[in-house]
Chain A
Amino acid sequence: AQTVTQSQPEMSVQEAETVTLSCTYDTSESDYYLFWYKQPPSRQMILVIRQEAYKQQNATENRFSVNFQKAAKSFSLKISDSQLGDAAMYFCAYLGYGGSQGNLIFGKGTKLSVKP
C-alpha cells in the first residue's frame, strides 16, 4: 500500500523569505501523480501544484515550485517570497495511475506560519 509522510508538523517563515516543506512517499508503482494542497482555516482543500511522475522537470506555479526526486521518493514544496496569506496547513498527496480507480492518499500535513 502507498504511504505519504510529512515529517514537519509545523514550520515558520518570515514574510518575503523562502520556506521548503518536505514530503516522502512509498510506492511500488512507476507512474503516479503527486500534489500539494493548501488548507486554510475554512478547511477547503485548494490545489497548489501537481507533478506527474513521468516528467523529470519540476513543476512550478508562480511562487510555488517542487523538487521531485523520483528515485529518492521525495517531493518537497518550496514557497518563495512568502506572504501572510500563505499561512495554512499544507498536505502532500499521492494519486495512483490506475485510471479513474485511484484515490488521493494524504500525509498528516504541515502547519505553516508566516511572521510579518
Chain B
Amino acid sequence: EAGVAQSPRYKIIEKRQSVAFWCNPISGHATLYWYQQILGQGPKLLIQFQNNGVVDDSQLPKDRFSAERLKGVDSTLKIQPAKLEDSAVYLCATRGGNTIYFGEGSWLTVV
C-alpha cells in the first residue's frame, strides 16, 4: 500500500513570496490533515478535511495560509505572502481507522 505522498520535499523562498505544497493521501482515507512543525516543537494542526469539507481550520492563519481539497483526494496548502516565522516542516497526514499516517514532510525555509 502506497503511503502519504508529499511534494516538494524542500523549498527555499524569500519573504513575501508564495509557495504551495501538495499532498496525495493513502487511497480511501477520507480524513486529511496539514500540520506545521517548527524546529524543536511538536506538530501543530493547521487544517483538517473530511473528504472535501473543512472540519477544523481554527489554527490556520487565514490572512496568509489557504488549503483546499477540491475532489476529496489530493490537497494543496498555500502560503502567500510568506514570513520568516513560516520556516517549518509541513506534514500531511491521513487517517485510516484509528491511526494517523504521515508523509515525509515538506521543509520550508523562508529567507
Residues of chain A at the chain B interface (Cβ within 8 Å): 4, 33, 35, 37, 42-47, 50, 52, 91, 95, 100-101, 103-104, 106-109
Contacts of A104 in B (CB 8 A): 33, 35, 43, 45, 93, 100
User: Contact at B105–A95, with CB atoms within 8 Å?
Assistant: no
Measured between C-beta atoms, what is the minimum distance from A19 to chain B in Å? Answer: 20
Given contacts A106-B42, A109-B42, contact A101 B104 (CB under 8 A): no
Complex CA gap A91/B105 in Å reads 16
Residue of A at shortest CB range from B6? A44
List of B residues within 8 angstroms of A37 by Cβ = 102
Given contacts A50-B99, A100-B50, A104-B100, contact A43 B89 (CB under 8 A): yes
Contact status A44-B43, CB under 8 Å: no
Option from B42, B55, B103 in Cβ contact (under 8 Å) with A44: B103
How long is the Cα–Cα vector from A102 to B106 in the complex, in angstroms?
Answer: 23
Contact assessment for B91 and A45 in the assembled complex, using a CB-CB cutoff below 8 Å:
yes
Provide the residues of chain B in CB contact with A103, threshold 8 Å: 33, 45, 48, 56, 100
B95 at the interface (CB under 8 A from A): yes
- Cβ-defined contact, B93 with A108, below 8 A: no
- Inter-subunit contact A43/B33 (CB<8 Å): no
Listed by A's residue number, 30 A-B pairs whose Cβ atoms lie within 8 Å are A4-B42, A35-B99, A35-B100, A37-B102, A42-B104, A42-B105, A43-B91, A43-B105, A43-B107, A44-B102, A44-B103, A44-B104, A45-B105, A50-B98, A52-B98, A91-B43, A95-B98, A101-B50, A103-B33, A103-B45, A103-B48, A103-B56, A104-B35, A104-B43, A104-B45, A104-B100, A107-B42, A108-B41, A109-B41, A109-B42
- With a 10 A CB-CB cut-off, give which of A33, A35, A47, A106 has the most chain B CB atoms: A106
